[in-house]
Amino acid sequence: MAVRGRGARGGGPRERRRAAGLLLAALLTASACTAPDDPDTFLTAGALDATLASRAAAVLDQDPAGYLDALAPEAAKLRAAQRTELAHLADVPLKSWTYEVKGITKQDGRWATADVELRYRIAGYDTAPVATRRVLELMRDGERWYITADRPAKGSSGQLWQQGDVAVVEGAHSIVLGVGRGEEELRQIADTVDLAVPAVSDAWPRPWTRRVVVLVPDSVEDMAGLLGSPEASYRGIAAVTTGEVGGTGKRPAIADRVIVNPQAYATLGSFGQRIVLTHETTHVATRTSTSTATPVWLSEGFADWTAYRGEERAADTIAPELAEAVRDGRTPAELPADPDFGFDGDPAKLAGAYEGGWLACELIAERWGKEKLIAFYEAVGAHDGREGAVEQALDAVLDTTPEQFTADWRDYLATRLG
């Protein structure tokens, strides 16, 4: 494993790209605008596409002049901030960086606002780009349009490089990007993910990239910023995996990110850290078979089943909240519902929900076998919508009913935890 830096670039290609960027800017100036005094001059999506293409090339070339060329000369704070952001990206091995203009949402004489989608990929890891929406404010000065503001769109999260200089450590199956964290800490996380990947591949013997990208921000506050959610939601959470499920059935490839809460993660011993990162790596592996049809108890239960698989620990040690409930005569009547997994609820209820999902997957693996568990997971995720997904998979794969499976699960809780 070695610290990953940007590879050396030949001077010729870089200069040619810079020259191409200058030529593109010149063409933009000639084609996108009419005379400076013409009030009917409008910014077009095509013209902005050209400007942003030049800006994207400057990111890949680490060319500050080219990157700042589209910014208004008098926007000193914006130029300083964007120069700093570009420098923060210097060691990140980018495969691609592109923009797509989604629309010019407002235009009034010399002023315009545009919705833009930024997409980027990390070389050797991302088979599909990470996408994030941005809002650009622009001003026409003479024959050119300049960017005067660049901010996340409503509902979009921030990016790691906006939080500080990104340090990069690469392992056999992992790349860890951190801000404000020491190299030794990042190496330890990479080593743990490298152990997790083979374990996950054994539990989930289906095609997946077997490569994991981990982000380690400096604090839980910064973690929340990367997720676009309140800080309080993640205070006791050691790590999460991004990549929302969408649609139904087989999902297209996306770029998942495991995001570590450095404060909560540091409180765990080596066993806990291994369990957490194996759990999150499982989400990366199973992502294309997970859809809106998949209940949370199944996706989280399978991830925990993978993480604890082969560990010689008693069930009541792994599931203490549920064990206490069973022994007190409070065995749950139903499998955990999706809202039970909310991070901002009762921590004991959250722990019990995870434990219940884990033991449901344990039951399937023990009674029907590992391959049936995998087939059940795939069948649920491939269903056309949530309604009927679990019911049909229970019937088709396990030859049982929801009522019988729930009764069997309750009996299994009593056997393992009573």
The predicted structure's pLDDT at residue 232:
85
Query: What does the block give as tokens for 327?
Result: 């022994």
Residue 297 CA to residue 360 CA, distance in Å, equals 8
The predicted structure's pLDDT at residue 48:
92
Query: What does the block give as tokens for 127?
Result: 């088979």
The predicted structure's pLDDT at residue 250:
52
Residue in 92, 117, 84 with CA at minimum distance from that of residue 102: 117
Tokens 């087939």 -> residue: 375
Digitized pLDDT (tens) for each residue of the chain, 418 residues in all: 333 332 333 344 444 334 334 333 333 333 333 333 444 468 888 889 989 999 999 999 999 999 999 999 999 999 999 999 999 999 999 999 999 999 999 898 899 999 999 999 999 999 899 999 999 999 999 888 999 999 999 989 899 999 999 999 999 999 999 999 999 999 999 999 999 999 999 999 999 999 999 999 999 999 999 998 888 888 889 999 987 554 444 555 567 999 999 999 999 999 999 999 999 999 999 999 999 999 999 999 999 999 999 898 999 999 999 999 999 999 999 999 999 998 877 889 999 999 999 999 999 999 999 999 999 999 999 999 999 999 999 999 999 999 999 999 999 999 999 8
The predicted structure's pLDDT at residue 254:
66
pLDDT tens readout for residues 69-100: 999 999 999 999 999 999 999 999 999 999 99
Residue 381 CA to residue 289 CA, distance in Å, equals 6
The predicted structure's pLDDT at residue 12:
44
Strand 166-170 with 2-3, pairing? antiparallel
Q: Which amino acid is at 300?
A: E
Tokens 């399978």 -> residue: 302
Residue 258 CA to residue 171 CA, distance in Å, equals 15
The predicted structure's pLDDT at residue 201:
98
The predicted structure's pLDDT at residue 36:
39
Residue 154 CA to residue 136 CA, distance in Å, equals 12
Question: By 3-state DSSP, what share of the chain in percent is helix, strand and coil, each rounded to 5?
Answer: 50, 15, 35
The predicted structure's pLDDT at residue 219:
96
Concatenate the DSSP letters of all residues of 251-311 into one string. Answer: PPP----EEE-HHHHHTS-HHHHHHHHHHHHHHHHHGGG--TTS-HHHHHHHHHHHHHTT-
Q: Which residues contact residue 210 at a Cβ distance below 8 angstroms, ignoring those fewer than 6 apart? A: 173, 197, 201, 285
Rounded to a whole number of angstroms, the CA Rg of the chain reads 25
Query: What does the block give as tokens for 410?
Result: 């309750």
Residue 69 CA to residue 204 CA, distance in Å, equals 48
Biggest alpha carbon–alpha carbon distance for the chain:
82
Query: What does the block give as tokens for 62?
Result: 């680490």
